[in-house]
Amino acid sequence: MATFLVFTLLTLSSFSSPTQAEIFTSIGQMTDLIFTERELVQSLKEYIEAEEMKLEAVKSWANKLDMLTRVSTLDPEGFLAHPVNAYKLMKRLNTEWSELESLVLQDPSDGFISNMSVHRQYFPDEEDEKGAAKALIRLQDTYKLDSESFSKGKLPGQRQYSGVRYNAELTVDDCFDMGKLAYNENDYYHSVLWMQQALRQMDSGEDAKTPKADILDYLSYSVYQMGDLPRAIELTRRLVAIDPSHQRAGANLHYFERLLSKELRDRGQGQQEPADEKPIQLDTYERPKDYLPEREVYEALCRGEGVKMTEKRRSRLFCRYQDGSRSPRLLLKPMKEEDEWDSPHIVRFLEALSDEEIEKIKELAKPKLARATVRDPKTGVLTVANYRVSKSAWLEGEDDPVIARVNQRIEDVTGLTVDTAELLQVANYGVGGQYEPHYDFSRKDEPDAFKSLGTGNRVATFLNYMSDVEAGGATVFPDFGAAIWPRKGTAVFWYNLFKSGEGDYRTRHAACPVLVGSKWVSNKWIHERGQEFRRPCGLTEVD
């Protein structure tokens, strides 16, 4: 029996070069597109008004001539017997019709097209659209959102802005495009979820440009790829009923039926079980494993599940005033410090940044924002990665007194010198923005990671939260089950290295995808060089 399956679907059109496809990675920069779109709408309205004025002039001319020709055609000779009528006929056909022709040939769209051309260079490209779609799928997985709720815009954590709740819904065509993108990535699990949602909305009566046959075509094959032959057969039969001449559907149906018959014979069953009539849900099929071993733990923590904060551990957490070992800048106003975790020790500083400082830092960073990079462990070269979706900018003390003041404050409160630290990195997360589990320090298998800096390894991380996040966006530590939620104006601090200089592998952490809101942070990575007397070496490896 032939096992070759005849199935060819049109793929998405070729995507443009990804070098420009970075808009979706920063909500901060995407806000500019909102105002661009508003300007284009105004330009479009002006074009429509000009077209309507032009059309009114043409209609007025047509109505006038309609009345005239009704009279003139009743008795042409009698009409032209009047010399004025004869003269006006000559004038109309020689001059006025030419003027009308010029009016019709006028193109009021020139202003709109010119405006479009100016703004088009800043438009997102197809890679941005693809990245944003993948971000929705990432949010769906991380926060276990069913396609129907997602399609209706019902997301947890939404709040009202100025009395308005900004819901947004996905149409049949939107859901189909989501499923098609997943299909073209050989991601049949998500293709099934979104094609099923497109079909559900279409069956409920929603209008769409996408033919139902196309949805069933993709859905039936994706279901087959998930190993559900009975349902694949039922969906393909629906497709054949809609379009009996669909050659691919007919071939697929025969193949599916033969394959199922063989499976039944192999199992010693003589009768086909009916297809499951329950709607396809998130847990209908098993989500394929990927490259990240702690994926389930990481995503559970992002949802606030599996956090290992016991009463015993909580009893070991305290709050205090931190004066930085009597730093003169903190004596009169010490920093409020709270323990977030006991081991490894993670603390949160309250009122680490003022609202004015945050706005200034964002103002300085916005023009410099570029796709965030990671350091290649083998080459030490910075490069972009799919597991880090954000934009970042690097600010130095000379850029503005605010940056110098923030750097000094970090040194005062931690007791570590920032002279050898990296510049202040400001990051803004885009649609579904995240940074999957990673280490801040370089491991033994990547000795050249910070070699060019000449300042040793990253001994500690100081992370400023510069915005509240309505839903998602936590900093999680899968190894010991901690989740730290963003609070505007606060900062968290932890050591990446033991006093011996060995890396603390427990500090592997992640920035969870932002579900609702815009997340701004600033990082200060403090290095080993210069800390010899501020944090002396320990006597044991894990001291």
What pLDDT digit, counting tens, does each position of 94-112 carry? 888 888 888 888 888 888 8
Instruction: Dig out the tokens for 465 from the structure.
Output: 């939260």
Q: What is the pLDDT of residue 271?
A: 63
Task: Using alpha carbons, select from 467, 380, 463 the residue that is nearest to residue 429.
Answer: 467
Q: Please determine, for residue 411, whether its predicted confidence score (pLDDT) is greater than 60.
A: yes
Task: Using alpha carbons, select from 241, 236, 206, 244 the residue that is nearest to residue 219.
Answer: 236
Beta strands (DSSP E) in 330-375 are 335-341, 346-350, 370-371, 374-375
- Per the model's pLDDT, the better-predicted residue between 41 and 273 turns out to be 41
Amino acid in position 244 = P
Give residue-wise pLDDT tens across range 475-486.
Answer: 999 999 999 999
CA 148 to chain centre: 19
Q: What is the pLDDT of residue 170?
A: 92
Q: Please determine, for residue 156, whether its predicted confidence score (pLDDT) is greater than 90.
A: no
- Element at 434 (helix H, strand E): strand 424-438
Q: Please determine, for residue 1, whether its predicted confidence score (pLDDT) is greater than 60.
A: no
Over residues 145-149, the mean pLDDT reads 89
Q: What is the pLDDT of residue 500?
A: 93
Which residues lie closer than 8 Å to 477 by C-beta, 6 or more apart? 301, 341, 346, 483, 506, 507, 508, 509
Residue 10's pLDDT band, with cuts at 50, 70 and 90, is very low
Sign for the pseudo-dihedral over CA of 193, 194, 197, 198: negative
Q: What is the pLDDT of residue 375?
A: 63
Q: What is the pLDDT of residue 365?
A: 95
- Per the model's pLDDT, the better-predicted residue between 161 and 243 turns out to be 243
Q: What is the pLDDT of residue 483?
A: 98
Task: Using alpha carbons, select from 129, 18, 124, 26 the residue that is nearest to residue 393.
Answer: 26
Q: What is the mean pLDDT of the chain?
A: 87
Share of the chain above pLDDT 70, in %: 89
Max avg pLDDT among 40-49, 78-87, 183-192:
183-192
Task: Using alpha carbons, select from 516, 153, 513 the residue that is nearest to residue 301.
Answer: 513
Q: What is the DSSP string of 46-99?
A: HHHHHHHHHHHHHHHHHHHHHHHHHHHTTSHHHHHTSHHHHHHHHHIIIIIHHH
Q: What is the pLDDT of residue 98?
A: 87
Q: Please determine, for residue 19, whether its predicted confidence score (pLDDT) is greater than 50.
A: no
Task: Tell me if the bond preceding 124 is cis, omega within 30° of 0.
Answer: no
Residue 90's pLDDT band, with cuts at 50, 70 and 90, is confident
Over residues 141-169, the mean pLDDT reads 75
Between 11-15, 419-423, 505-509, the lowest mean confidence (pLDDT) is in 11-15
Residue 431's pLDDT band, with cuts at 50, 70 and 90, is confident
Residue 313 vs residues 308, 320, 339, 475, 542: alpha-carbon distances, Å: 9, 17, 11, 19, 21
Integer Cα distance of 229 and 21 in angstroms: 39
Residue 124 contacts residue 23 (beta carbons within 8 Å): yes
For 492, phi then psi, to 5°, come to -115, 150
* Structure-derived torsion over alpha carbons of residues 536, 538, 541, 543, reported in degrees to the nearest 10: -110
Residue 277's pLDDT band, with cuts at 50, 70 and 90, is low
Integer Cα distance of 197 and 281 in angstroms: 10
Q: What is the pTM of this model?
A: 0.81
Q: Please determine, for residue 23, whether its predicted confidence score (pLDDT) is greater than 80.
A: no
Over residues 277-303, the mean pLDDT reads 88
